[in-house]
Amino acid sequence: MRLMRQFISLLFIAAAISGVSSVIAAASDGIPSSKAAPATPVNVPDTMAERVKPCTVCHGQADRVGRDAYYPRIAGKPEGYLFNQLRDFRDGRRYYRPMMLLLANVSDEYLREMAAYFSGLRQPYPPPEQVISSPTEIRQAQKLVQQGDATRDIPACIECHGKQLMGTAPFIPGLLGLPRIYIAAQFGAWKNGGVMRGQESNCMSDIARQLTIEETNVVAAWLAAQPVPENAGPADALPPKMAQRCGSIVQRSADR
C-alpha cells in the first residue's frame, strides 16, 4: 500500500505539471453528470514500469528539441549516479521544482529501486545531433575530450567518463546521447561552483573553470554529434589518479 500511495502521488503531480488536469476539465465541461458514462475500473499492473511513468513524461525515449532538450536521458545511467541525483533533488541540494514535488515524499529505499530500474533499461539511443562545427573546432574538442590539456592541468574527459564516454560505475555519468544544450548548461553550472546548492569546489568545478566558454561549447557540440557505440556501457572503475583527484565526489557519494 505504501508503494501504491507513492505511485498515485507521483501520477497526480505529473498530471498537474503536464497540464493533464486542465485537459480533463475542459473535456468534461458542460456534460451533465446524469449522462456521464459509469466509470470503468482500470486494472493497472503493479510494476515499476507503471510506477515511474510520471518520470517518462519528461525523460521519455522521444528526441528532445528546444526547451525539452534540457531533460536528459536517464535510461542506462550508472545506478549510483541516478540514486544520488534523485536524492539531491528530493532534499533540495540540486534544485528543480518539478523534481522536488515529484520526489518530496519518496523514501531512500524507493529511490534506490527507481535508480536500479532506469539503470537497467536498454533503450535505443537517438541518432547523433546534427551540429555544424569547423575542422578547427572539431580538433579542439577531440583534443580536450581524448587528451585534455596538461599545461592547464585539465584531464581528458575519457579519464573519468570512460573510454567510450558512457560513464564510470557507480557514480560518474555518461556524456553521449545527450543534447548539446544540456551538456553546455551543465558546464555552465559547474563553472559557477557546482550543480547543487552550497556545493563546495571539487574536481569537476575546478576543471570547468579552466575551460573557456568557447571550449565548453565546442566540446558540448562534439559530444552531442557522436554516435553511441553499440552495446556500450559504463567503465568499471576510475583510474587511481582520478579517483584521488576527484575523491570528494566519490567519497561524498559512497558516504550517503
Summarised one tens digit per residue, pLDDT across range 75-120 is 888 999 999 999 989 998 888 889 999 999 999 999 999 999 999 9
Decide if 102 is inside a domain.
Answer: no
Averaged pLDDT, 176-199 = 81
Is residue 246 a known part of a binding site?
A: no
pLDDT exceeds 90 at position 61? no
Residue 69 covered by a domain = no
What residues are paired with 172 via a beta bridge?
168
59 is in an annotated binding site: yes
- Amino acid making up residue 46: D
At residue 71 the predicted structure's pLDDT band, cuts being 50, 70 and 90, is confident
180 pLDDT tier (thresholds 50, 70, 90): very high
Picking from 18-27, 34-43, 101-110, 239-248, which range would have the lowest pLDDT averaged per residue?
18-27
Q: DSSP of 51-108, one letter per residue?
A: HTHHHHTTSSSS---GGGGGS---TT--HHHHHHHHHHHHHTSS--HHHHHHHTT--H
Q: Is the pLDDT of residue 36 over 50?
A: yes
Joined grid coordinates for residue 10? 507521483
- Is 157 annotated in a binding site? The answer is yes
Q: Is residue 9 part of a domain?
A: no
**C-alpha grid cell for residue 192?**
559557477
Question: What's the structural domain count of the chain?
Answer: 1
Q: Please check whether residue 186 lies inside any domain of the structure.
A: yes
Residue 224 lies in a domain: yes
Residue 42 forms part of a structural domain: no
> Is 254 a residue whose pLDDT tops 80?
no
User: Where residue 214 sits, what CATH number does that domain have?
Assistant: 1.10.760.10
Query: Which pLDDT band holds residue 72 (cuts at 50, 70, 90)?
Result: confident
Angle between helices 213-224 and 180-191 (to 10 degrees): 150
Phi, psi (5° rounding) for residue 125?
A: -85, 150
Residue 20 has pLDDT above 50, yes or no: no
**Is 203 flagged in the annotation as binding?**
no
- 23 pLDDT band (50/70/90 cuts)? very low
| Burial (0-12, 13-18, 19+ Cβ within 10 Å), 91 | middle
pLDDT reading at 26 higher than 80 = no
Burial 229-256 (b: 16+ CB within 10 A, else e): eeebebbeebeeebeebbeebbeeeeee
Which amino acid does the sequence have at 196?
M
Please report whether residue 8 resides in a domain: no
pTM of the model as a whole = 0.75
Which structural domain range is residue 214 located in? 135-255
Report how far residue 151's alpha carbon sits from residue 199's, in angstroms, rounded to the nearest whole number.
Answer: 27
pLDDT category at 201 given cuts 50, 70, 90 is: low
Do residues 147 and 156 make contact, with C-beta atoms less than 8 angstroms apart? yes
Answer yes or no: is 45 within a domain: no
DSSP H or E run through 17? helix 2-18
| Pairwise pLDDT comparison (59 vs 28), residue with the higher score | 59
What is the per-residue pLDDT for 233? 85
